[in-house]
Amino acid sequence: MLGVAFYLVLGQGAQESVTQQLLSQQQIIARAEKSNIITFFERLGDGVATLAQTTSVERGDALEDMDTFMEQRKDTGIIGGVILTDKNGIVRFNSNVLGTRDVGDSLADRNFFAWAKNEAKKGEYYISRPLVSRIGVTKDQTIIVVASPVYRKGVFTGVLGVSVKLQPLVERFFGLMKISDQTKVYLLDENGDVMYSNADEGEALSDQAFSDRIKNA
C-alpha cells in the first residue's frame, strides 16, 4: 500500500510537471507569434506608406505601381488587393489577386478614410479594426485594412488602402500555436469578443465562456 501511495504521488507530480512544461512552451510560442504578426503589420504599413508617396500615386497614375505591389505579395494568400480613392472616398483604382478592376464604390464612411482625410500626415499609416469588405475579391469577407493618406503638393487627394484577409492571416500566424489536440487558439477584438478560434462548432458555448472570462479578467 505504501508503494502504491508513493507511485501515485510521484505520478501526479510528474504529470503536473509535464503540464507546466507544456503551458510554458505554449506561452513562449504565443508571445513569438504575437511578435511575428506585429512585425508583419509594421512592414506592410511601411510598404503602404511608401507606395502612397510615390510620384505615380500622387499624380493619379498609380495602376502600374499598384499592380507591382500586388505581384510581390499575392503568393502569400493573405493580401486581397490594394485600392486608391479620390478625396471624396470613391475608389478610382483597384489592383487585386484576380486582376479585376472594381471601382466606383464609396468608402467615405470607413474609419480609415476619415482618419486619412482629417487626422493623418504624409507618411503615416493606419491599421483598421476587422471589418466586412464591400468591394473586390474580398467582398463579404472579414478583412483588416492598412491605409495611408495621399497628398499632392500638400493637398489631400485620397487614401491608399490594402486589404488583409483575416482567415488566412490567423491560420498562417497562429497555426504553429497548436502543439496538441487539446490546444485552442483564439483571436479576440478590443471588446473581448471572439473573432476566430480553431474550436469545433459544437464548442461555441465554450468560446463564449472564454470570451466572458477575458472580459472580466
Q: How far is it, in rounded angstroms, from Cα 181 to Cα 192?
A: 24
Q: List the Cα angle 115/121/122 in 5-degree steps.
A: 120
C-alpha cell of 126? 493606419
Would you state the torsion angle of the CA atoms of residues 195, 146, 67, 102, taken in this order, to the nearest 10 degrees? Answer: 70
| Confidence bin at 205 (pLDDT 50/70/90) | very low
> What is the rounded average pLDDT of the residues 92-97?
92
Q: What is the pTM of this model?
A: 0.77
DSSP 75: G
What length is written for the chain?
Answer: 217
- What mean pLDDT is reported for the chain? 82
99-154 per-position pLDDT tens digit = 888 899 999 999 999 999 999 999 999 999 889 999 888 999 999 999 999 999 99
Highest mean pLDDT out of 17-26, 47-56, 67-76, 179-188 = 47-56
Looking at per-residue confidence, does 2 or 156 come out higher?
Answer: 156
Closest CA to 51 of 125, 155, 129: 125
